[in-house]
Structure 1
Amino acid sequence: MAFFYDTLSEEIYKEIPRVPASNRVMLHIDQFSVGQSYVTAKIQNRQGDTVSINIEGGRLGIDLQETLFRLDPDKLPKYAYIVTTVNETEKILARKVPVLGIKDWLLIYEDDLFLLAVKDAYDEIEIMVV
């Protein structure tokens, strides 16, 4: 049985650099709400405030939420590595997406994460920015 969701996940997982704790978050998602072309969920940031996460298909990228990461607005990270484990299969999905900017909510554009969220196939996402 394969350890990874797909060959892309295996390749990306091998290239993930060691990332300091300040550039890494683990998000626990209780429940996704499904919209027409997106899914949303509520998570808590480091201060205990509730923040929205939105996952959409289509273009590839991520808009970071400033209270989840310690970001320097003058020097944004270039990429984010996103890792999750699919619940039923225990396979690892890993993606590398460009950082598009900073928003009031966490916005992820990635087709497989979106499709799996619609199926409620994972409940944690780890994001590492570099």
Structure 2
Amino acid sequence: MKMGKGGGFYDGLSEKTYKEMPSTGGKGRVLLNIGRFEIGQSYVTAKVENRYGDRVGINIEGGRSGIDLQETLFRLDPATMPRHAYVVAAVNETGKLLVRKLPVLGVKDWLLIYDDDLFMLAVKDAYDELEITAV
């Protein structure tokens, strides 16, 4: 994912994390185009299309840090499950990149992302794409 017109990073953690991201695809890389977020009490949800044309749910919550991958979005080998996933979002108005390294917690029917900043920006509808690289 490239920075937009404003360029730069959302915060110092994003810049540091971006520099440590692997340059190759790791065990899986997906780019998700998010139409719009639905806001719940302590989470946001959205629907994206997987490689089979099926609609898959995304749930983003604050609190603990981690990610549960969704099996049809990634080509996962149970013998070599990824340990971490890098999540990148370009903030719409500024073009600044928010980058987080999240521990992979498991595999679920939905893509579940647990991160305070991604949650708060989703509530504000501040990004419409997520790039996730599992390593």
Q: Which residue of 1 aligns with 2:97?
A: 92
* Identical pairs, percent: 67
Q: RMSD of aligned C-alpha atoms?
A: 1.3
Q: TM-score normalised to the size of structure 2?
A: 0.93
1:122 aligns with 2:124: no
Alpha-carbon distance in 2 for matches of 1:26, 1:99: 17
Deviations 1:91-128 (A, max 9, x none): 00000000000000100000000000000000000000
The 5-angstrom pairing of residues 55-74 of structure 1 reads 55-74=60-79
Which residue number corresponds to residue 80 of structure 1? 85
In structure 2, distance between residues paired with 1:30 and 1:22: 26
Q: Distance in 2 between matches of 1:34 and 1:91?
A: 23
TM-aligned CA deviation for residue 22 of structure 1? 6.0
Scaled by the length of structure 1, the TM-score of the pair is 0.96
Which has the higher mean CA deviation after the structures are superposed, 99-108 or 15-24?
A: 15-24
Q: Residue 55 of structure 2 aligns with which residue? A: 50
Distance in 1, Cα, partners of 2:101 & 2:25: 17
Q: Distance in 2 between matches of 1:43 and 1:22?
A: 20
In structure 2, what is the Cα distance between the partners aligned to 1:85 and 1:72?
A: 29
1:31 to 22, 28, 36: 36
- Distance in 1, Cα, partners of 2:57 & 2:70: 9
Q: Tell me how far 1:74 sits from its aligned partner.
A: 2.6
